[in-house]
Structure 1
Amino acid sequence: MPAAPRHAREDERLASLRSYQVLDTGADAALDALATAAARVLGAPAALVSLVDEHRQWFKSAPGAEAVLGPGVRQTAREDSFCAHVVAAEEAIAVPDATADARFADLPMVTGPQHVRAYAGAPIVGRDGLPLGALCVMDREPRELDASAVRVLADLAGAVAELLELRRAEAAAGLGAHQVLAESHRLRAAIDAGQMAVHYQPVVDLPSGRWVGVEALVRWEHPERGLLPPAAFLPVAEASGLVVPMGRQVLTLACTQAALWRERGGAAGAAADLHVAVNVSGRQLSEPDVADVVAEALLVSGLPPEALVLELTETSLAGSGAEVDTALQRIRSLGVTLALDDFGTGYASYSYLQRFQPDVVKIDRCFVAALGRSERDDLLARSLVRLGMQLGCGIVAEGVETREQAQTLTALGVRHAQGYLFSAPRSAHDLEGRLTTAG
């Protein structure tokens, strides 16, 4: 019997699978529903959501499996697995009669009491573009499996992947599915009621002390709990997908406010050439109309494109594909500036510099906080600044809290910075006077 093959990037694939934290977890009604739909579409008695681990395939969902595999079977050895072949090939496999296929004829599931004869499986591909396992159907009778049914199976496997991604986000947020549902309803109502507020933190020109821009930061004006910071609701927004409409609303509000400040500032005012930076999430970037949303916000607000900076984090870019590249090209063609946020903190920062060619890099606050602590820390900060400059990027230092940090950054050639030394994030009303008087 041929050994079940391994994926070409097996170590990365296993790391990706484990990051979902779903192995050896309990039942999931939504996954059961998807597996049941797969069984019905293909007219099979059993369907499985099979996650292929290092030495086993484990069944996260297995409606009807007892009829084929026997009672209580939740996993099998990987070498006995049909699904390991789907994972290795990264494509759907249909087996009308396993006894006539050399890859599977000697599998214990085929020769043993289960007598599996027919199988079809489609890969479940995670956020890293790597297969986590397969959505499959099995039957004890041989059967012809037409291409259209297998395509439906592949579509359902995509829905399984999306649901697993949601579960991963819920786990990262420390939330259960019922919490996400309840909290997302509250957040949806808050967005519709206009309870999302935007605060702004100034970006300062270090040599002159002039405010040249602001970063827009969302807050929730909760009617019972008061003003809530992002950490209190962004995990739910990400897990539920509400970060997309919320992000659209924040973008429009920030562009409108910046345009108003520029107009009130006049030709000689402090805000005459003010820019506004707005964070963009990975979910927003993956939306097919993201470039149109940016263009509409500029049109509605009257803000010049060159006055808008979109800040992209490594998290928002992780696992992104060609569609994100195309969207960013369209956004850049509008005249909008692209910034890479939290620069230096992630393993892929350098690759993102090469791939996305940002106009600005923001040196993460952890490097600013470490300035003066040791020669090594100073060397790291100096190297990041030098690299950004050599690539022609503007540099912004985040988290500046002391005059010594500001002086050191100025000596390194950093022109722009933000942090509590200059101002905490404040409402538009609180910043109004400073931004509309002569600088």
Structure 2
Amino acid sequence: MAGRRAREEEPTVPAAPLHPREGERLASLRSYRVLDTGADAALDALAAATARLLDAPTATISLVDEDRQWFASTRDLSAVLGYETPQTSRDVSFCAWTVAQERTLVVPDARTDARFADNAMVTGPEQVRAYAGAPIIGRDGLPLGALCVMDREARDFAEADVQALSALATSVAELLELRRLDAAAGLGSRHVLDESHALRAGIDAQELVVHYQPVVDLPTGRWEGVEALVRWEHPQRGLLAPAAFLPVAEASGLIVPLGRQVLTLACTQVALWRDTPPTGGGAGGGARDLHVAVNLSGRQLGEPDVVDVITDALLVSGLPAQALTLELTETSLAGTGAQVDAALAAIRARGVRLALDDFGTGYASYAYLQRFQPDVVKIDRCFVAALGRSERDDLLTSSLIGLGLQLGCGVVAEGVETPEQARMLADLGVTTAQGYLFSPPRTAQALGARLVAP
């Protein structure tokens, strides 16, 4: 654990290293919104049960923040260790070491451990000699803190004790999950914690793959670009569509590393296609001028380094900025403020195009057109499917298309499935479309063969 307060003239103690994904970890911790909240009887009871099970004077649930650790359970802290406040400095935190290594940390005798021998918790009135802590892994697979026990006597911890501590740390994570404000955000009874841990493992194992659907010039049939669509090659369940895992990715915050990975993969693949000469006038007439559209979630857009992430993807891949279009939905833009406006301006200044996806399905389409001035609007498939159904449906679709064209935006129609839909869209002035009429989303290998082969 950490010293009760900074002490003057105390020896310098080694500080715990930062977690390899410290920025993501801190964002995950804060998304739970439990820091600096009141006492929690359930968490206190779980900590007390942990102390009894491991026969230790005290146990606590410690959440490791940027420069402090905050105790989500405070039972016995004052009586046993003399804590006057529910937090201590991170600099001398035992639990920070547990978080950094992301596995159980056992210290049988802190006085003989170079990391802790001069720690204020060891040399001061707390007189901590033994420590065991198990990481509390949140829904996105990152450690939030630790469930730990402390003793004033040096002692060994049996393997059964360590296993029990790890199991109880999982229970802590489940309790925190129940208290998370967005725990029931459209996910029903899904096992979010288990699913998010599996998804984190899948991202780290590079099981996420990108399929591509052509964006077609209607007058010529030429493939102008592709939209990047993520899939998960699940080792047990096979190829999963986005609906099977993106809700959990959004809820857990994993959409940020997932989106970063997809962006880099898509930019790299399209840059490769652009550099590959056609071998005889392929379906797309060659890929020299191919562009790619990649979805950007609201969570990604709110990250402080979003502009750097996009810039890095372009630099690493070698893709020209003008060949990248970032698709934003009206939902992802809802509730955003000046920070997002500045990020979008910086992205556009780099030459990247912005598209408003699912246009017409939100509650403030016109307001977003005025505020963000997108380069492209994408007419949602529901309006394409309604063409020819009634005069009212045709008028609504034609009005959306006309508005985009009059504002000087490129207009792309999504979900085109029949030649009749393509003809009606062309009559309304749409020149660019995508859908199963032209091609379903395909793997890079399958689509690339059509791009460069006769």
Work out whether the TM-score is over 0.5.
yes
Give CA-to-partner distance per residue, 1:300-321, whole Å, 9 cap, x none: 0000000000000011101111
TM-score normalized by structure 1?
0.62
- 1:396 match: secondary structure: strand
* Number of the residue aligned with 2:235: 223
- Given the alignment, which residue of 298, 320, 330 partners 1:282? 298
1:206 aligns with 2:218: yes
- 1:298 match: secondary structure: helix
1:314 aligns with 2:330: yes
* Number of the residue aligned with 2:200: 188
Give CA-to-partner distance per residue, 1:37-83, whole Å, 9 cap, x none: 69xxxxxxxxxxxxxxxxxxxxxxxx99xxxxxxxxxxxxxxxxxxx
Deviation at 1:396, TM superposition (A): 0.1
* Number of the residue aligned with 1:168: 182
* Number of the residue aligned with 2:7: none
- 1:424 match: secondary structure: coil
The residue type paired with residue 254 of structure 2 is L
* Number of the residue aligned with 2:435: 419
Give CA-to-partner distance per residue, 1:99-157, whole Å, 9 cap, x none: xxxxxxxxxxxxxxxxxxxxxxxxxxxxxxxxxxxxxxxxxxxxxxxxxxxxxxxxxxx
Deviation at 1:171, TM superposition (A): 3.0
Give the direction of change, closer, same or farther, for the CA distance of 1:164–1:406 in structure 2 (3 Å limit).
farther
1:359 aligns with 2:375: yes
1:256 aligns with 2:268: yes
Deviation at 1:169, TM superposition (A): 5.9
Gaps of at least 5 residues in structure 1 are 1-29, 39-62, 65-161
Gaps of at least 5 residues in structure 2 are 1-31, 41-73, 76-175
1:295 aligns with 2:307: no
Given that 2:33 and 2:180 are in contact with CA atoms closer than 8 Å, whether structure 1 keeps it comes out as no
Distance, in Å, in 2 between the alignment partners of 1:222 and 1:401 is 29
Distance, in Å, in 2 between the alignment partners of 1:214 and 1:271 is 10
Which protein is richer in helix relative to its size?
1
Distance, in Å, in 2 between the alignment partners of 1:323 and 1:164 is 30
Distance, in Å, in 1 between the alignment partners of 2:449 and 2:35 is 57
Given that 1:206 and 1:416 are in contact with CA atoms closer than 8 Å, whether structure 2 keeps it comes out as yes
* Number of the residue aligned with 1:340: 356
Distance, in Å, in 2 between the alignment partners of 1:169 and 1:357 is 34
Distance, in Å, in 2 between the alignment partners of 1:213 and 1:425 is 12
Distance, in Å, in 1 between the alignment partners of 2:178 and 2:378 is 32
Distance, in Å, in 1 between the alignment partners of 2:179 and 2:360 is 26
- 2:412 match: secondary structure: strand
Given that 2:256 and 2:299 are in contact with CA atoms closer than 8 Å, whether structure 1 keeps it comes out as yes
Give the direction of change, closer, same or farther, for the CA distance of 1:255–1:33 in structure 2 (3 Å limit).
closer
* Number of the residue aligned with 1:373: 389
Give the direction of change, closer, same or farther, for the CA distance of 1:351–1:164 in structure 2 (3 Å limit).
farther
* Number of the residue aligned with 2:446: 430
Distance, in Å, in 2 between the alignment partners of 1:323 and 1:163 is 29
Give the direction of change, closer, same or farther, for the CA distance of 1:169–1:210 in structure 2 (3 Å limit).
farther
Give CA-to-partner distance per residue, 1:212-244, whole Å, 9 cap, x none: 110000000000100000011001100100000
Give the direction of change, closer, same or farther, for the CA distance of 1:170–1:216 in structure 2 (3 Å limit).
farther
Distance, in Å, in 2 between the alignment partners of 1:312 and 1:418 is 17
Distance, in Å, in 1 between the alignment partners of 2:426 and 2:348 is 29
* Number of the residue aligned with 1:404: 420
Given that 1:166 and 1:239 are in contact with CA atoms closer than 8 Å, whether structure 2 keeps it comes out as no
Deviation at 1:266, TM superposition (A): 5.8
Give the direction of change, closer, same or farther, for the CA distance of 1:420–1:266 in structure 2 (3 Å limit).
closer
- 2:276 match: secondary structure: helix
Given that 1:31 and 1:163 are in contact with CA atoms closer than 8 Å, whether structure 2 keeps it comes out as no
After superposition, the CA RMSD in angstroms is 2.5
Given that 1:203 and 1:416 are in contact with CA atoms closer than 8 Å, whether structure 2 keeps it comes out as yes
Distance, in Å, in 2 between the alignment partners of 1:311 and 1:351 is 17
Distance, in Å, in 1 between the alignment partners of 2:400 and 2:356 is 13
Give the direction of change, closer, same or farther, for the CA distance of 1:33–1:355 in structure 2 (3 Å limit).
closer
1:326 aligns with 2:338: no
Identity of aligned residues (%): 71
Deviation at 1:165, TM superposition (A): 11
- Given the alignment, which residue of 37, 46, 55 partners 1:35? 37
* Number of the residue aligned with 2:85: none
Give CA-to-partner distance per residue, 1:339-390, whole Å, 9 cap, x none: 0000011111110000000000000000000000011111011111110011
- 2:361 match: secondary structure: coil
Give CA-to-partner distance per residue, 1:381-410, whole Å, 9 cap, x none: 111111001100000000000000000001
